[in-house]
Amino acid sequence: MNHYNDTQRHALLDLARTSIRHGLDLGRPLEPPHPPHDAALLAPRASFVTLHHEGELRGCIGTLEAQRPLYLDVAHNAYAAAFRDPRFSPLLAPEYADLRLHIAILTPPVPLVTTDEAALLAALRPGVDGVILEEGRHRATFLPAVWAQLPSPEEFLLHLKYKAGLGAGYWSPDLRVSTYQTEAFGDEG
C-alpha cells in the first residue's frame, strides 16, 4: 500500500519534527497555522508516530480511527509521543538532534470474526496485519511493525493479550479482534 508520494511523506515527517520542536520550545502541541494544499494530507486518517533515540524506543502514540485530518493527527501524535507517552519521561532538548521518527498511516480497522484462538491465529498475517484486541475496559494494539520482534502469530497474540491486561490463556466469545494495515515510513534509516 503506497498511497503517499515522497513529497507527502517528507511533509508529514517535517510536520512531526516541527511539532516536537514546538513542544520543546513552547511546551504545547503545534497547531499548524495553515492547512496544507494537498488533499491527501487533509483527508481524515488515523496515524501512529514512533520515536527512537540512540536505537531505542523513545515514544509511540497514535489513533486507531480517523478523527481529524491526517496532517493534524500526525502533528498531535508526534507531540504526544515525545511528551505524553506514559512509559517514558518527556523528551529533553538534548535528545532532539538524534531523534528518529517513524510514521504509520492506518487503514480503517476491519472486524475479524473468529470462533476460537486457533482460528484467530490462522487468520493473522505476520508482517501485514496490525491487530486490535478488546473486551470491556481491556484494549491494546500492535502495529504491523511489531511482527519484526514477535514473528510468530502465537507469540504476537500472547504479548498483545498481556498488553491488554489479559492472561495468556484468556479467550472469551466477547473478545473483539480487528485488523488493519499501515503505510509506514520514517527517517530512521
The pLDDT tens digits of the residues spanning 74-126 come to 999 999 999 999 999 999 999 999 999 999 999 999 999 888 999 999 999 99
Confidence of residue 188 (pLDDT cuts 50, 70, 90): low
Confidence of residue 1 (pLDDT cuts 50, 70, 90): low
Confidence of residue 189 (pLDDT cuts 50, 70, 90): very low
Span 150-179, pLDDT tens digits? 999 999 999 999 999 999 999 998 999 999
Q: Is the pLDDT of residue 7 over 50?
A: yes
pLDDT at residue 71, as a whole number: 96
Report the side by side order of strands in the sheet with 46-53. Answer: 56-62, 46-53, 99-106, 182-186
Confidence of residue 142 (pLDDT cuts 50, 70, 90): very high
Residue 74 near residue 35 (C-beta atoms within 8 A): no
Span 29-80, pLDDT tens digits? 898 888 889 999 999 999 999 999 999 999 999 999 999 999 999 999 999 9
Query: What is the architecture of the domain spanning 6-106?
Result: 2-Layer Sandwich (3.30)
Mean pLDDT of 4-9: 95
Q: What residues does CATH 3.30.1490.150 cover in the chain?
A: 110-181
Confidence of residue 2 (pLDDT cuts 50, 70, 90): confident
Domain 110-181 fold:
Dna Ligase; domain 1 (3.30.1490)
Q: What residues does CATH 3.30.700.20 cover in the chain?
A: 6-106
pLDDT at residue 31, as a whole number: 87
**What is the C-alpha separation between 144 and 131, in angstroms, rounded?**
8
Mean pLDDT of 133-161: 96
